[in-house]
Amino acid sequence: MDRDRERLVAANEALARRVNDAIDRGHWPGEEDQGTAYRCECTRLDCNRLLELTPAEYERVRAHPRRLVVFPGHECPEVESVIRAMPAYVVVAKRGEAGAVAEADDPRD
């Protein structure tokens, strides 16, 4: 991946995480175990896929700044390792440079 594309991808992922944070904030206490549509956080710039997971599951992913949640098949083995594969979503961890960028771009910092 060249540098320009890497930057674009990182910006896109940071945006997806901000959208998902907003989705998360829209929940009332007690709704942590209800299936919710989150945006796919993959490297595809034109991806509009929604993933169904519970706010509690999403929080477990976001507890690690290098981890992202993507639609099955949207993982990018070039820069990501699969942490957990579920039928509805896959948790990936960014490696190396991409990991440092994901950490720096985490909107929760």
**Which residues lie near Zn ion (CB under 5 A)?**
40, 42, 44, 47, 49, 71, 74
Residue 98 CB, nearest approach to Zn ion (Å) = 16
42 vs 101, which CB is nearer to Zn ion? 42
Contact 70, 42 (CB under 8 A): yes
Nearer residue to Zn ion within complex by CB, 15 or 32: 15
- Please identify, using beta-carbon distances, which residue of 38 and 71 lies nearer to Zn ion: 71
d(CA 73, CA 68): 14
Of the candidates 20, 76, 80, 9, the residue with the CA atom closest to the CA atom of residue 50: 20
Burial class (CB in 10 A: 0-12, 13-18, 19+), 72: middle
- Beta carbon of residue 74, minimum distance to Zn ion (angstroms, whole number): 4
Question: Toward Zn ion, which CB reaches closer, 74 or 94?
Answer: 74
CB of 102 to Zn ion, least distance (A): 15
**Least distance to Zn ion, CB of residue 51, Å:** 8
- Give the 3-state secondary structure of residue 67: strand
